[in-house]
Structure 1
Amino acid sequence: MTVSTSLPRIVDAFAGLHVLVIGESMLDCYLQGSTSRLCPEAPVPIVDFGARSEQPGGAANSAFNALCLGAEVSFLSVVGDDPEGESVVRQLARRGIDPADVLSQRGRRTLAKQRVLAGSQLLLRLDSGDTGPISPEVEDRLVDRLVGLWRRCDAAVVSDYGYGVLSPRVIGKLGELQSDLPRILVVDSKRLALYRDASPTAVKPNCREALRLLDVPGPSSASERVDWMAARGARILDISGARIASVTLDSEGALVFERDRPAYRTFAKADRDSRVAGAGDTFAATIALALAAGAETPAAADLASAASAVVIGKEGTATCSAAELRDRVSPAGKSLADRAELADCVAGHRRLGRRIVFTNGCFDILHRGHISYLSRAKALGDVLIVGVNSDEGIRRLKGPTRPINALEDRLQVLSALSCVDHVIPFDEPTPHELIRVVRPDTFVKGGDYTRATLPEASLVEEFGGTVEILSFLADRSTTDIIARIRRAYGEGAGGADGHPPLGAAADTWADHAPALGGGNGV
C-alpha cells in the first residue's frame, strides 16, 4: 500500500461529493453571562445574563460540517412542531443546508441542550425533548425520503443518538439500500450492534461506546487503554459488521482497525484545550468524505483526526472548513531545513516537558510497513522527529538506481502522516550528528538489529536516552514493491510497454538487483 502524497488534494476532492446525513437533530443553546456573587438561597453562583446563541447540533452538526468541508449535503431528520424545531430549521437554512427533508412531527418536542456559562466556565446543562420513537406516519415519510436521497448520494453518515429517529425499520431499510446500491456508509451510534446487517463501511465509537459494544469493563487504568483496545480491534469489527472501525480516544487520538491489517493510530491534537461540542460529528463527516474521495484508510483517519483537532481548538458547537483542514494537514511547518532550526525546535519541545522520539531512514516508497513502524515509534513519546537520508546518501547505501522518489517528495509524504511531527534530511552515512542535536529520550530503529549491533546506541545512551528496536511488519518492504513492479513490467532493459523499467536508465534491473535491499526501508 502506498500513501497519498497530498492530503490537501483529498480535501479538494470533497467539493465533488454528495453526502446524505440522517439522524437526530438537536438545538444547541448557549446562555452566556458573568458571575461575581453567590445566591443567598443556596451556595450557587448568580449569573448575570448577557447573550443567547443557538446552533444546530447532533446530526445537524454533522451535516453542517460536511457542508463546510465543501460537499453537497442532503439532511434527513425529524423535529417537533415547537419553537426549538423551528429554530433548527431556521439555523440550517441560514447556514446553507436545505431543510426540505427535515420532517416535522405534530406534538413532538425537539431535542435541545441549553448550556449556562459564566465567562468560559460551563455551569449547567439543561436537556429537553422527546426521545421516544417517531410516529408511524412520520416513519413512513422518512423511509420514502431515504430511498430517494440514497440514489443521489456518494456517501451517507448516520448520526444515531438513540432518540427515536433511527428505528428498526429505518435501519433495516438502510441495510436493503446498502445491499442494492452500495455507498460509503459511516455509522456514528451508541447502538452499533444494530447496524451489523447494514454492512457499514466504517463505524466511529468513542472509547465508552466501544466498551459497551464489547460488553466488557475495560482496562483498569487510562494508561493501558490504547494497548487494551488495540488487542480488540478484530472483535469490534466482528460485532459491528464494519470494514473499518475508528475508536476515538480523546487527547490520545484514535485507533483505526481494518480487517486483516494492523491497527493504525492517529495523533492529531488540538492547539489548545477548550469547551467544545460535536468533535465526533466532525470526525464522522470527514472520514466519510475522505473514503468517498478514494482515500485509503490511514489517510482518511488522519484527515478526520485533523478536522476534529481543529474544532476542539474552538468554543461551542464548532465546525471545520475545507480551508482550515488544508492548512492543518499541509506539510509546511513540519520540515526542518538544517540543524540550527532543529535545535530551536527541540528546545521548544523541551520547555514544554515533551518526550522526544527520534528515528531515521530512507522511506523511499512509503507503504504500510513504514506507517505501522512510525505509528509505533510515536506511541513511545510525545514528539516524533524523523531523519531522512538524502538522495546521494541513499545512492551510497543502495546503489545507483535508488532512490525511486526524490528527497522533497519523501519529506512531503512523511509530513502528511499525523504520527510524524518533524522531518529533517541528512547527508552523512549515519544520523550521529542529528542525534547530538536532538538528544532523544528514545531512539527507535526497525529490523533485526540488537543493542550490540546498532552503531547509534552508545551515543543515544551517552545523552541519557534509551534504544527501542521495533520488528518490521512481515511481507512489507520497498524491495518487495520494486520486485512486484519488475514482475509486472518485465525484466531487463525494456519493460512490457517497451520503456526502460523504473529507476534503470540504459542498464538493466538485473545489474542492480543486489543493491535493492531495504526491508521496511528504515
Structure 2
Amino acid sequence: MNLTDWVARFASLRVLVIGEAMLDSYLGGSVGRVCREAPVPIVALNERNDMPGGAANTAVAVAALGARCAFLSVVGADEAGVILAEKLADAGVDTDALLAAPGRETIVKQRISARGQLLLRLDRGSEGAVPELIERRLIEAISRAWSGADAVIVSDYGYGICTDRVIAAVAQLQRRSPRVLVADAKDLGHWAGAGLSAAKPNYAEAIALLGLGAVEGIDRVEQIVAAREILAARTGAQLLAVTLDTSGAVLLEPGCEPYRTFTSPAPDSHAAGAGDTFTAAFACALAAGAHSANAADIAAAAAAACVATAGTTTCTAEMLHERVAGEAKLAGPASVAAQVAAWRAAGKRIVFTNGCFDILHHGHISYLNRAKALGDVLIVGLNSDASVRALKGPRRPINPEGDRAAVLAALGCVDLVVLFEEATPARLIEAIRPDLFVKGGDYTIATLPEAPLVQRLGGEVKLLDFLDDRSTTSIIDRIRASYDAPQVAEL
C-alpha cells in the first residue's frame, strides 16, 4: 500500500481527543498613531477571527483529515466556551462530552496584529485542576467512549484537564482494552505509565525531560538520537516522534534506525497548530495500520500543508491526499527554474541529485535522506523511460517514469522531482544551478561527468556511499534467480 491508501482509510476511523480546550482569537486592525501615554502603537481593530486552539485544534485537525472525532474536555460556562463549542460543531467535531464548569473561565489566547504584523498576545482563563465533580463526569465520558475508538489522542498542556485521576483512568482503560494511544504533552513524564503507543514531544519538551540544554540545526537530531533510550524510558512510549521545528522530525523506534522527516522553514506566524496537525495525522495513520515511518511521512505532509498560511489552520483530507500523492512535487524542465528562483530568494540551500530510481529500496531512501540533510531543498532529476533504456538496455526500466516519479515525490525528504530525457542531467543542472550536487556510487569527482559543470556554475560536489548489497540490479537478479530456480512441491 502507498501513502494515499492509508490516508483513504482515515474516513473509517473514530478518534477521541482528550485535553485542554482553548479559543484562539485573532484581532486585526490598522495603525496610524502612537499612544501619548507610552511609545506604543494604537491599533484600530476592524476584524476578529475565533478558532479552536490547544487540544480543540487537534480535534478539528482530526475531523478535517476525514476521521470521526469526539472531543472530551472542560470549558467555562461563559461566552468563550459557547463560541468554542459552536466552532467545534461547525468543524464536524462531536462535543457531547465537552463539559461546561460553572466558575471556570475558558482559556482564551488573543493575538493582536496590524497589517499582518503580530504585535501582542493576551492570555486569560482558568489553569488549575477542574473541580472533582467535573473530573468524575469527564472520566465517565472517557470510559463510555473508549470502546468505540480506534485511536485516542491526549493533548495535555498542563492546564488542569488531565489530572492524576484522569491519567490513571486512561491507563486502566488502555490495559483492559488497548488502543492506539498517542500523547502530546507538556510533561510526558506524567504519562509514562499509561501504555502509550506513541509520544510526540517537541524539541523543547524533549530536552526538558532529558535535562539537556538547547542546540541548533542538525545538532538537534544528533542530540535526540543519542538520548533515545533515556527518552523512551521517561515517556514509556513504544514509539517517539520528536518534532524539531525547521529541522523536521525524527522518529525513534526500538530496534530500528532513526527515521527523519523534513519540512520547509516557515514564519512563526504560520506555525500555529502545525504540531497539533502532525499529532492528529500521525495518530490517524497509525490507527489506519500504516508502518511507523509511513505514518511519520503522512504527519509531516499534513503539518507542511498547515503552515502554508498564517494563523491556526488545518489540513483537509484533500490537501493531504494531494501532498502524499506527490502532485505538488512534480515539475517539468521548463517550470523548474521559476520554482528554484523562489526558493533561492527565500535563502534556501538547493541540493540536486539524479538517477533512474527504478525499484526504490532501502539504499535509495538512506541516500536521499542524507542528501536532504545537506541543505534545505532536495531536487531529484529522474531519467525518463527513454533515457533509462538508452543507459541500461531495452529491458529497463521495470517501473514506468510516472510510477517512479510518484514514489519519489511521496518521500518526505524530496521537495521536487523533474524528469529529463537526455543521458545526463547537464541541461537541468544549468537551469537549477544547485548549491550542492550529490552523487552516489563508485564515482570520484575526477570521473563524475557533471562535476566540472556544477563547479563552473559556482556549486559544490559531494559523493555519498551507497549501502552495501543494495541496488536495483541486485534486486532484479534475485527475483530472476528465484523464479528461474526449480520449484519443489510441498509434501
Q: When the two structures are superposed, what TM-score results if normalisation uses the length of structure 1?
A: 0.83
Where 1:152 maps in the other structure, the secondary structure is coil
Matches within 5 A, 1:302-341: 302-338=297-333, 340-341=334-335
Q: Is the 8 A contact 2:181 2:197 kept in 1?
A: yes
Residues 485, 236 of structure 1: CA spacing in aligned structure 2 closer, same or farther, 3 A cutoff? farther
Q: Which residue of 2 aligns with 1:69?
A: 65
Name the amino acid aligned to 1:296. Answer: H
| Cα displacement string for residues 22-60 of structure 1 (whole angstroms, at most 9, x for unaligned residues) | 101112223333332222222222233334443222111
1:492 is aligned, of 481, 484, 487, to 484
Q: Which residue of 2 aligns with 1:520?
A: none
Q: Is the 8 A contact 2:64 2:91 kept in 1?
A: no
| Cα displacement string for residues 444-485 of structure 1 (whole angstroms, at most 9, x for unaligned residues) | 123454445544444433433322222334665546755776
Q: Is the 8 A contact 2:217 2:247 kept in 1?
A: no
2:237 pairs with 1:237: no
Matches within 5 A, 1:180-195: 180-195=176-191
Where 2:286 maps in the other structure, the secondary structure is helix
Aligned-partner Cα distance in 2 for 1:263–1:229:
10
Residues 150, 402 of structure 1: CA spacing in aligned structure 2 closer, same or farther, 3 A cutoff? farther
Aligned-partner Cα distance in 2 for 1:240–1:476:
35
Q: Is the 8 A contact 1:270 1:309 kept in 2?
A: no
Q: Is the 8 A contact 1:271 1:309 kept in 2?
A: no
2:381 is aligned, of 375, 382, 387, to 387
Q: Is the 8 A contact 1:264 1:372 kept in 2?
A: no
Aligned-partner Cα distance in 2 for 1:350–1:95:
37
| Cα displacement string for residues 326-369 of structure 1 (whole angstroms, at most 9, x for unaligned residues) | 3334423433344x444555455445554321212232232343
Which one is further off, 284-293 or 105-114?
105-114
Q: Which residue of 1 aligns with 2:84?
A: 88
2:430 pairs with 1:423: no
Residues 98, 39 of structure 1: CA spacing in aligned structure 2 closer, same or farther, 3 A cutoff? same
Q: Is the 8 A contact 1:270 1:310 kept in 2?
A: no
Aligned-partner Cα distance in 1 for 2:489–2:317:
40
Matches within 5 A, 1:391-410: 391=385, 393-394=387-388, 402-410=396-404
Identical-residue share of aligned pairs (%): 51
2:289 pairs with 1:297: no
Question: By how many angstroms is 1:429 displaced?
Answer: 4.9
Aligned structure 1 segments of 4 or more residues deviating by more than 6 angstroms: 270-273, 493-498
Q: Is the 8 A contact 1:415 1:423 kept in 2?
A: yes
Which one is further off, 90-99 or 161-170?
90-99
Q: Which residue of 1 aligns with 2:195?
A: 199
Where 1:262 maps in the other structure, the secondary structure is coil
Residues 436, 222 of structure 1: CA spacing in aligned structure 2 closer, same or farther, 3 A cutoff? closer
Residues 124, 337 of structure 1: CA spacing in aligned structure 2 closer, same or farther, 3 A cutoff? closer
| Cα displacement string for residues 294-350 of structure 1 (whole angstroms, at most 9, x for unaligned residues) | 233333223322322333233333222212223334423433344x44455545544
Aligned-partner Cα distance in 1 for 2:461–2:17:
48
Question: By how many angstroms is 1:101 displaced?
Answer: 0.6
Aligned-partner Cα distance in 1 for 2:330–2:173:
46
1:441 is aligned, of 430, 435, 443, to 435
Q: Which residue of 1 aligns with 2:162?
A: 166
Q: Is the 8 A contact 1:272 1:313 kept in 2?
A: no
Question: By how many angstroms is 1:152 displaced?
Answer: 0.7
Q: Which residue of 2 aligns with 1:120?
A: 116
Which one is further off, 104-113 or 55-64?
104-113
Q: Is the 8 A contact 2:248 2:261 kept in 1?
A: yes
Matches within 5 A, 1:220-299: 221-222=216-217, 224-269=219-264, 274=269, 277-299=272-294
Question: By how many angstroms is 1:401 displaced?
Answer: 5.6
Q: Which residue of 2 aligns with 1:517?
A: none
Residues 77, 497 of structure 1: CA spacing in aligned structure 2 closer, same or farther, 3 A cutoff? farther
2:137 pairs with 1:141: yes
| Cα displacement string for residues 144-190 of structure 1 (whole angstroms, at most 9, x for unaligned residues) | 22122121111111100011111222222322333332222221111
Residues 276, 397 of structure 1: CA spacing in aligned structure 2 closer, same or farther, 3 A cutoff? closer
Question: By how many angstroms is 1:285 displaced?
Answer: 0.8
Q: Is the 8 A contact 1:269 1:306 kept in 2?
A: no
| Cα displacement string for residues 236-283 of structure 1 (whole angstroms, at most 9, x for unaligned residues) | 334323233222222332223233333333233377763553221111
Question: By how many angstroms is 1:111 displaced?
Answer: 1.8
1:47 is aligned, of 22, 34, 43, to 43
Aligned-partner Cα distance in 2 for 1:194–1:459:
56
Where 2:96 maps in the other structure, the secondary structure is helix
Aligned-partner Cα distance in 2 for 1:86–1:349:
43
Aligned-partner Cα distance in 2 for 1:44–1:300:
46
Aligned-partner Cα distance in 2 for 1:447–1:225:
29
Q: Which residue of 1 aligns with 2:209?
A: 213
Give the alignment's Cα RMSD to 1 decimal.
3.1
Q: Which residue of 2 aligns with 1:31?
A: 27
